[in-house]
Structure 1
Amino acid sequence: MTTISINEFYREIFDDKCELTELFFSEQNNNNIGHFNVFNIAEMNSACKGKLVMPYNRRTYYKISLINGHNWVEYADKEIEIKEKGILFASPRIPYRYTPQNENQSGYFCIFTADFMHKSKTALHLDSLPIFSSQSDFVFQINDEQFDAIEQIFLKMSSEIDSDYAFKYDLLRNYVTELIHTGQKLKPIEGTKGKHNATSRISSLFIELLERQFPIESIQQELQLRTAKQYAENLRVHVNHLNKVLKEVTGKTTTEIISSRITQEAKILLKQTDWNVSEIANCLGFDEVAHFSNFFKKQTNQSPLHFREN
């Protein structure tokens, strides 16, 4: 799993031959207002065949999709089927895979960055909203009437983004806010738990998330995730479930895997840098050098200084 930026989204969806590639290089990207864009799904399917499958990646942008078609969404240990009409609210907090099940797809989606919404005088703090919470079930089934009402908002977006109205981005932010509040009133689709796929997915996501903490390349760098609970929260699963999955796949507990990787990095830093033990301890997330020394000795049966000397 990789982390997809807004730029990489365009490269992932559109290739050099696709006429829609130029959509990214619009006025907003040069005016320091963040990024926003809106797309017609049917038109994209026609222009960029077969590229609407969203691989299992974490993204740096937000996305709201109004969906008319049969699709599967996978995230954490859940698999959700959108049988016909639905709306999806994706955030950077939750990696997911989106897979159309047929070619008859229509609807709209918009993508936007946090800084786009923060430019508003009444800015929404996106990560504090329930719909973008790491605990949110973010896929909703909707009926025909709800679909038509939400579609009108997207049609307004599509019309406004092509206009020359001086305050169109303020208006677009209002439309995004309306979509968010509409979504927060909806009831999420109940997901099913696909044991085999979910187990391999969660374990690989955990390893990828763990490895992204490394290497430590400067004394200003510090591990962002240190505990099993922190990893579970980022992966949107219960810590006991994460531990069960990793034990099943690797034979080790979550804490044992984390500790082993931190020890490995500690050895590298002790061997290959001239940083003192206190600096290394701080980089690896230990508040006190004594805590680091005790941890290292428990893992290796020798102190950090003794390891460095030998």
Structure 2
Amino acid sequence: METLEEFYHHKFNKYPENLHNTIGQFNVFQIENRMRKNKELPIHVRRNFFKIMLFSGENTFRYGNQNIKVSDNTLMFFHPNIPYSYQPLSTKTTGCFCVFKSEFFQSNYKLDLDNLSLFKSPNPPIFKLSKSNYQEAEYLFSKMLQEAQGDYIYKYDLIRNYVSELYFLAMKWTPPENLFQYGDASKRIAMIFTELLEQQFPIQYKSDKIELRLPNEYAKKMFIHVNYLNRCIKKVTGKTTSQHIFERIGTEAKILLKHTDWTISQISETLGFDDLAHFNKFFKKQTGINPTSFKLV
């Protein structure tokens, strides 16, 4: 995992002055003024900070396990749980980005970033913007830049409002079918199940171990019958409860195999498998390739 301190070191070769005095270590930059001089490919890892990027240009972003080509005007949200990287930026790229730790919203103003529907959608939080939407997002970034350079005593309270507005605008632009609604019991059950599933990830330490691996374990936690849980999940998502569980474990397995130096046996144990043979069989069924081969690709 890359820390915010490491980000500043490799991005700018120095740590901004007085940044430790700021709760959550917030900062905002114009892309064209902070262009990477070298052309090395950024490492595909998780970070310990949030990032929002308003991007104008063309590039390929790797978000989790997806390669996403973006062009023209794009707004992107990056979460510490999801590894990401992108190709070196061209000199024609323009836009802004801001970075901050979760503590930035844990003082007087609390925005629960981990539970925003933006990060629960099946689609990555990457938005191709119309001209008017781009101007709206660009205005918010311009206000952040303006306040960050000023000495107003409450400037970070203003900036929190601008950052929050970007999140809420993005959720407003998210197609309704990609979000869980609260209209009926099945959707509420699906939402609670999804939250319980995601709470077990990411796996950060070898000592971590997921506890809920079977549909009946989730049903017991939710105080409902497993058959009712299965019906609700199938009705809302079109997939079975087991499919959701196995796909999420499979995704985490890919991340750990690619982005840690852990042994396959250690990864198998953190993901709750009794033995390595069981994990190998599971992974090959999910991906069509065994863990050793995937790690070497």
Hey, what does 2:205 align to over in structure 1? Answer: 213
- Corresponding position: 1:167 with 2:154: yes
Q: Secondary structure at the match of 1:213?
A: coil
- Corresponding position: 1:70 with 2:42: no
Q: TM-score, normalised by structure 2?
A: 0.61
Q: CA deviation at 1:118?
A: 1.2
* Contact 1:70–1:100 (8 Å) recurs in 2: no
Larger radius of gyration: 1
Identity of aligned pairs, percent? 30
Q: Deviations over 1:61-89 (max 9, x none)?
A: 00000000101111233221111110100
Hey, what does 2:33 align to over in structure 1? Answer: 43
Q: Taking structure 1 as reference, are residues 74 and 163 closer, same or farther at Cα in structure 2, changes over 3 Å only?
A: same
Q: CA deviation at 1:96?
A: 1.2
Give ranges in structure 1 of 5+ residues lacking alignment. 16-20, 189-208, 215-221, 230-236, 251-256, 263-283, 287-291, 300-310
Q: Taking structure 1 as reference, are residues 224 and 6 closer, same or farther at Cα in structure 2, changes over 3 Å only?
A: farther
Match for 1:35: what amino acid? Q
Q: TM-score, normalised by structure 1?
A: 0.59
Q: 1:260, 1:96 → 2: CA distance?
A: 20
Q: 2:250, 2:52 → 1: CA distance?
A: 32
Q: 1:246, 1:22 → 2: CA distance?
A: 34
* Contact 2:4–2:48 (8 Å) recurs in 1: yes
* Contact 2:5–2:15 (8 Å) recurs in 1: no
Q: Taking structure 1 as reference, are residues 260 and 99 closer, same or farther at Cα in structure 2, changes over 3 Å only?
A: closer
* Contact 2:62–2:84 (8 Å) recurs in 1: yes
- Corresponding position: 1:118 with 2:106: yes
Q: Secondary structure at the match of 1:180?
A: helix
What are the within-5 Å matches in structure 2 for residues 151-230 of structure 1?
151-187=138-174, 213-214=205-206, 222-225=207-210
Q: CA deviation at 1:53?
A: 5.1
Q: 2:213, 2:167 → 1: CA distance?
A: 31
What are the within-5 Å matches in structure 2 for residues 120-139 of structure 1?
120-121=108-109, 123-133=110-120, 135=122, 137-139=124-126
Give ranges in structure 2 of 5+ residues lacking alignment. 176-201, 215-243, 258-263, 279-297
Q: Number of aligned residue pairs: give it.
A: 214
* Contact 2:63–2:124 (8 Å) recurs in 1: no
Hey, what does 1:34 align to over in structure 2? Answer: 24
What are the within-5 Å matches in structure 2 for residues 49-128 of structure 1?
49-50=37-38, 54-100=42-88, 102-121=90-109, 123-128=110-115
